[in-house]
A and B are shown apart, each in its own frame.
Chain A
């Protein structure tokens, strides 16, 4: 009788895992994602409790999920939040735009010419390792506006992954693809449009995905300085006004938008990927 009782939970879990494995893959992955988010939320909640119960930190109790999410709920749809998000996205888009305009041609040259690769590899790897924020003093000197300086920092963050992604894509081009296309009467433009661009697209987007990740991470601290709009500014402002619930809400907004930006990049990579599944 006692053995039956002991095996009960074990049986329950083994039954559960059998049933789980029978589910369609999309259902499994959805359940797992919800599980992951629940764990994160739970840890945030625990953290909130610890902060609230410690006399040294109880002033920050509004960091907890309850106040933060209600602050977020109140912010959604407000002009303030919309403007904040739009300012940040604008800077990201400008930065990414210039990162692509500069990075893709450089990457093509690096991928195509061995000599260029040899010359550029060391300096580029070196520059890539410098935190984009380290350029701040130079950016401030070089640009009249804080906005210009921030876009410059984002460009410094985005070019390198785009350069290396593009170069990798170009290196993977099969030289026979050029020969065949030339043989079928392709002119230079057609070669670019039908052969080179589709051949490297997925690697360029993979570079852009990395670039978006770095740019988004760099943007917030960059917006601590000077500017009076954007998510970084909003966080700094919330700290100064002791509005910790708003501060935590902004952190959530940053995470959500970052996730969405990454999802767009992943979609583009999949859309332009030509590798056999």
Chain B
């Protein structure tokens, strides 16, 4: 990013765990319900209410810990983190302070062909807060409403070491972590719904310097893009400040997506004193090794192993393997398509190209797409046997994406069948050459453009349905005979 400074990044990721009920009560965790319909006296902090730990949340934490190569604590405990806010019903959050459930660990990321190991400091369980609903902007709203549906939803906070050196690496870490959480089936990881959230700690230091620079914490990063942009902006801001002889202030900053800047929220001096102390309403949690083994046995294939399988079995590149193992749904699509059409590279190209593009444009997930593996496999087969050209395939694919119709039907409806018959193409080629003697002369004089002109004319005359490869060969032969 700069030749004078090195950027140092650590991420704190909050993943909502995919349990049916909340972490300390029996309320549902389903997203999108009417406000305050998934609440009870426990998660709304009524007098005399006590928490009871949901063991499913512990299962999820153990799974994640195993996937991140962490040590699962035999003994951990919960603590109270005290602060006042209207969306925090008890005015303390039950969290884990000094004895988290997962300690240490790592995950590997690959950026531009270079592998980096990012250390995991810890992962701990905690409860989510509710949310405030304002009338417009928070600073001008006449009143605010409190929705406690989310209060008490289990969260796993995963803290990384400051091992990342670029916004791209941070993004890659986040993507890799997301795929792990998805494969482990512990979180929905929907950043737009807030089930995966991220704060970034960013500092810069002169190259070669061992000591870390003063860091700022950036909040409100709601997408991979926001994460990448915010870190880039913040690193640049810090470097420029240092260049101007300023001192970086340790503070919390918020990312303004619209303006593309980070803004100061509060300084270290204004930071809360959370007055952590052990939660007296919950006994310490002992996780015996049988529990860990049971969870280990139930672990599905993780993206790292799946990616390795794709590279070993099908010779895919690390890059392609990473993309396909972004989510279990992606991998499932790939595996199912490949079972019907055994060209891994072709399947991967179409998945990562047109399919991903269309999904992104429409804000859809792969499992919701009308294009199913069978349709893609059939289309690839028609392409391979020359029935349709690559260009036609793009049209067919877009149509499949919209309608979910099978490629044969689309080809018929749109009249997309490729002309791969030499007997019908040759007279046309003759005719075009004869009608353009000047271009023919250019060709003979060695002008390469002339060849392209003929191809264009032929494709135009056949409304693009001529088999391009065949046209190419036939034209070459014909011209060579001149």
Q: Are A and B interaction partners?
A: no
Q: What residues make up the interface of A, taking CB atoms closer than 8 Å to B?
A: none
